[in-house]
Structure 1
Amino acid sequence: MRFLPEDLSAALVTEELAFTAARDALIAAADHQAEVFPAVLGHGSEQRNRFTVKSGASAQLAGVKIGSYWPGNADRGLPRHNSLVLLFDQEHGRIGAIVEAGVVNAYRTAAADAVAADVLARADATTLTVFGTGHQALYECAALARVRPLTTVHVVARDRQRGEDFLTRLAERGLTGRLTPAEQACGDADVIVTATTATAPLFDAAWVRPGTHVAGMGADAQGKQELPVELLTTARLFCDLPAQAVRIGELQHVAGLVGDGTLTLTAIGDVLTGQAEGRRGDDEITVFDSSGIALQDLFIADALLQAAATEKEAIS
């Protein structure tokens, strides 16, 4: 059995590796080359401590990702989020590889949004608005800067000091940020990303100008919500996996309208393979619901194992 500890997986992961793995995983999901099984949500002995088990299989890979969220870790100076990926040895049914993927998970999640933005955001998009100042928000900004030449990042922060600290971290990555009220930030944005744990809309649909691309990644469990329903009923809707998006993603809040055919929901993998249209005009508002699928974890874990093997060969 191969084991990739946290320090090594964090050292090996890059935005390019994550982008390629996410793109391949999303294509596999949409092309029916693979299967994603329903996510299982649970909690620890203390109910505020939560975890998710996501599993899937492709022609080459099968396995499980366990993601945890322990909010009290912040007071201990530890990450609130952690992640572990288990890949099966499919010949014998034993675990063939274990990859600790706490930092990797942030790259993986942001990469999916970047893959979607690459085909859905306007080609001339330069202004990003991000809701949230936590760990994931920074990776979202960095990943999106890879696919669009961002000149300004508007940061919507609940706490000003956290917002100021976030601007410093953005600057360290070569990105120019500013703290901006939500309505102005939405009105000025070419791309909006929400990276929070919200359970109610963060902004009004009327604040979003024509031509904007919106990515919601915080909704990954029942009851979570970042985007207004009015936006979902007027924008063109895309997601990583339709069956999951309407169950635990942002689109759970319009699941009935998707189910009866009132709203059309398109898997981003179909856009990537040319089976469906992406953006159809500069005035169109697009929404990508990123609830996170197991195939992303399996593909990036496999890519990291390959990178580790290559590095070992280079050293030897």
Structure 2
Amino acid sequence: MKFRLTLLLLFVCFHAHADYGYMPLSYLITQVNYGVAGTIVKLDNNYFYLRVDSTILGKIDEDTIPIIRFKDWNCGRRYTAYKVGQQEIVFFNKTNNDIPEFDYKGVGGGCEFELTVGRDSIAYHCSYGGYIRYPRSGFANVVKEYKQFIDSFQVKSRKLDSNSWRKFSARSALHKKLNENNPLLWPNYREFDQREEKSKKMLGKIPEPTIYIDGIKGDSVSISYIKHIRLELKHDLGGYLIDEHLKYKVLRFDVDVIHNGTTKTMTSKNEYGNEDMNTLVRLVEPGDRVRYYNILCKYPDGKIVAVKEKTVYATAKVY
């Protein structure tokens, strides 16, 4: 029995979150547009506020930026609790680049995007409870060079040749360490993008998506399953099947939580909502309603489309 429970826990840890697993820093850098070094100066339920001391990747004009807080889960925990004064290097993206409303959000199911800064080293928290140290001296410059090196191949979909890889690694020990697990050498690195493009071509006209609330499609949802405000849009193929490769990106939405006759309105600048919204939706009781509206999404072909609203009715617990 214990053996079966162990297997089940391992399965959940490695499959419950799309981003989770050992993520090399070399891969993380390829997935972000921004990187800054700074100090946490403020905290609330939804964000940590980072004073930007220097910029490593991208262009940030603000002196202090709010970044969505990492929330611990079963298979991923931050290296320690958030505290004002912590010095970090943070790698992140905008939740969208298409409309003025957006959040800054890190990448990785294990809080890999927050690197701690020590006197002489940078700690990359790459796995559950583990970390890899990099020398602090020269770190920012090497990251910039590595990002430029990767982008020179990604933009034109060029194949990374072994000669170019060796030349970059030969620049210094830090270049070599960062480049040793270069994702462009992975045989299936671009496989997902190729499948998505094939899926688009086969469809022709992009179909109208179906709205899912925290993974559930129906209009009536038991309060046992209403845990998060998350809104997803998917191409529903029927019979519990969806097209995994055709992606609709939620850009923003408004939500009314109607509880005991009182309406609370909040706005989300991403598909996940935030911790305040999730806390509110967990208070719903049978008969309450959650209304999603003013939904903007980005279709797989790049068009920005307003999606019709949806109201979810809370029903009794499932035992």
Larger fraction in strand: 2
Larger fraction in helix: 1
Which has the larger Rg? 2
More RCO (CA 8 Å, sep 6+)? 1
TM-score under structure 1 length normalisation:
0.23
TM-score under structure 2 length normalisation:
0.23
